């Protein structure tokens, strides 16, 4: 009997080596996805979705907000278990598991009306200075545009999207390249005069990510099943509507592609 019990325990531990009832969740200031709102504390679409998942997991979750660089560092080291939102990249995927796609989003150029009127194509960026959050996949996307235009504009890296938007508003540089949802939320909140450059940019998506150092693939699969349940009962759609975000298409459905005015990738 003792041997059978020990064997069962060994099999359980092998299958679920990271079975826990607590998660450390980390995110960065990226309204409307994840942000701190005065006395209300952390808010955002990622926060509400992860809160619900923690309830479904019957797990105690601690939420923290840091800058993007530190969030990535904590996830890679296993100091943090879960992060949101993050876009795809081969480098990140070497250290992180990704959930199914949650948000459909994209990158766009923004500037003051007098600047935006002059931008009809990527060629019109020549001679301009463009601010972007760094390091980020937004910056990687902008670098693709930079190569496409034969490096005819200048990239100015900044520590946050908010800094880039404020500097564009103050005419410190020509325009910014930013996540469209984040920029539009900031413009609405601050009543900024910045406007979006139409039709230029790239689409992407954001997921929930998990540290490979502290979370097992079995847990990721289980959380993906929670996400699918939350999709079916319209919880995800309700959260996206609240924060003016777009829910990604289901895993097995083809995602509609945005047609750029010029192709950036070969």
**Which pLDDT band holds residue 178 (cuts at 50, 70, 90)?**
very high
Q: What is the pLDDT of residues 91-130, one digit of tens each?
A: 999 999 999 999 999 999 999 999 999 999 999 999 999 9
Contact (CB, 8 A) for 100 and 224: yes
Contact (CB, 8 A) for 69 and 140: no
Distance CA 122, CA 82 (A): 37
Task: Give the mean pLDDT of 199-209.
Answer: 96
**Which pLDDT band holds residue 239 (cuts at 50, 70, 90)?**
very high
Instruction: Verify cis geometry, omega within 30 degrees of 0, for the bond prior to 135.
Output: yes
The two tokens of residue 204 are: 């992407």
Q: Is the pLDDT of residue 7 over 80?
A: no
Closest CA to 102 of 181, 5, 8, 187: 181
Residues 6 or more apart from 71 whose CB is under 8 A from it?
26, 27, 28, 80, 83
**Which pLDDT band holds residue 4 (cuts at 50, 70, 90)?**
low
Radius of gyration of the chain (CA): 20
Distance CA 180, CA 245 (A): 10
Distance CA 46, CA 82 (A): 11
Q: What is the pLDDT of residues 126-165, one digit of tens each?
A: 999 999 999 899 999 999 999 999 999 999 999 899 999 9
Q: Can you give the pLDDT at residue 3?
A: 52
Q: Can you give the pLDDT at residue 159?
A: 87
Residue 207, beta-bridge partner list: 86
The two tokens of residue 236 are: 């995800």
The two tokens of residue 177 are: 């390249």
């Amino acid at each position: 009997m003792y041997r059978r019990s020990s064997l069962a325990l060994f099999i359980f531990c092998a299958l679920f080596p990271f079975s826990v009832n607590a998660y450390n969740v980390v995110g960065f200031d990226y309204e409307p996805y994840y942000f701190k709102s005065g006395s209300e504390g952390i808010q955002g679409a990622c926060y509400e979705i992860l809160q619900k998942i923690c309830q479904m997991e019957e797990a105690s979750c601690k939420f923290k907000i840091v800058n993007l660089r530190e969030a990535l560092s904590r996830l890679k080291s296993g100091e943090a278990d879960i992060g949101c939102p993050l876009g795809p990249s081969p480098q990140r995927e070497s250290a992180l598991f990704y959930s199914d796609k949650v948000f459909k989003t994209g990158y766009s150029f923004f500037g003051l009306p007098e600047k935006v009127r002059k931008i009809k194509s990527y060629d019109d960026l020549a001679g301009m200075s463009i601010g972007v959050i760094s390091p980020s996949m937004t910056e990687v996307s902008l670098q693709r545009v930079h190569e496409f235009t034969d490096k005819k504009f200048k990239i100015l890296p900044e520590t946050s999207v908010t800094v880039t938007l404020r500097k564009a508003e103050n005419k410190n540089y020509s325009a910014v390249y930013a996540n469209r949802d984040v920029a539009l939320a900031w413009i609405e909140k601050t009543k900024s005069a910045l406007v979006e450059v139409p039709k230029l940019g790239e689409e992407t998506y954001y997921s929930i990510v998990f540290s490979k150092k502290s979370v097992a693939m079995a847990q990721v699969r289980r959380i993906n099943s929670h996400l699918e349940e939350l999709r079916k009962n319209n919880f995800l759609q309700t959260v996206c509507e609240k924060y003016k975000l777009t829910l990604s298409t289901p895993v097995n459905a083809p995602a509609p592609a945005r047609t750029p005015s010029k192709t950036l990738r070969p």
